[in-house]
A and B are shown apart, each in its own frame.
Chain A
Amino acid sequence: MTQTPEFKGTHLFDRLCWAKENLEGVQSDYRVVYEDDVDGCAKVLVPDPHFCAAFLQGGILPPVWVYWELADDEAKPDFKRHTRGYLLHETQPIEAGTMEQCIEYLIMKDLPRHIWQTWDSGNKPKMVICHKDQLPSTREWRNAWRISDELNLAA
């Protein structure tokens, strides 16, 4: 198995370049379906193969709370440029995890926070983790996709 170099202090972009060059991409079968607009259709998060490979390898990606810190900075009204980008590069990278943990990480990184923090409150779930083959096989009615009561997608 490829050994991950000691990456703490190395710019995250350089770590990702190393991962792309040295690790085989891993296509995940998981998809995360969520609704963040009552009038809009369901959205589907698709994991990136190189990101999944880096997560499974360990020692490359920062802990997810780093992204929350940067998002909080960016949400401030006087935000111009990131001044705490060092958190991405100098925080101890996370250890290797499973594909399921990778999906949890991506949910907390790339989905709106109010979705995953309150996914099961309200009249019906706002978020579902499913397998790719559970999605409709055709995109003909893509803009009508919703999360159904049975946690399956229905047009």
Chain B
Amino acid sequence: MAGKIIADTLEHSTAGSLSTEYVVNGSAKAWFHFNMLAATIQDSLNASSITDSATGTFLMNLSSALSSSEYATLSASGDNATHNASADTNEPRSSSQYSHNHWENNASYDIANASNSALGDLA
């Protein structure tokens, strides 16, 4: 591909240097921004689809799988959450699928602005 840079280290004039391993290993390999109420994907990277499983319960399906099912996921909900005690939980189901559940007052709940990401090694 055009514009390819091959480097093991990035060096700043005053702030020091950084191995590109940190960039490769530390950046998100997939992310989703989606609307549970409309069940639509607003934007994403490395996604193939989402599965609307039930109220507040969705599955993220990846195009380029991670190397195993032991990877990290992060999730968040927008400020449209209407109740106190809200939480977002994720769980890897396989190397190419993880769940995103949104909870409010201990019950699954749909929200308009949901987002998540996955960090790990690609297959």
Mark A residues whose CB is within 8 Å of B.
Answer: 5, 10-14, 16-18, 20, 25, 27, 40-41, 43-51, 54, 61, 67, 70-71, 74, 79-82, 85, 88, 106, 109-110, 135, 139, 142-143
Contact = CB atoms under 8 A, between A and B. Distances in A.
B41 interface: yes
Contacts of A11: 64, 122
Nearest to B40: A46
Residue among B53, B96, B123 with max Cβ neighbours from chain A (10 Å) = B123
Given A46-B41, A51-B63, A82 B48 contact: no
Contacts of A85: 65, 67, 122-123
Interface of B: 1, 29, 37, 39-41, 43-55, 61, 63-65, 67-69, 94-97, 110, 122-123
Given A16-B46, A47-B49, 12 more contacts: A11-B122, A16-B64, A20-B45, A27-B40, A43-B51, A50-B44, A50-B47, A61-B63, A74-B94, A81-B67, A85-B122, A110-B97
Nearest to A18: B1
A30 B37 CA distance: 17
B110 A139 contact: yes
Contact of A143 (B54, B65, B123): B54
B55 A142 contact: yes
A44 B52 contact: yes
A49 B33 CA distance: 12
A48 to B, nearest CB: 4
A13 B46 contact: yes
Given A13-B46, A106-B48, A139 B1 contact: no
Nearest to A84: B123
Given A12-B63, A27-B40, A51-B63, A67 B96 contact: yes
Nearest to B65: A70
Contacts of B110: 139, 142
B45 A16 contact: yes
A16 B123 CA distance: 14
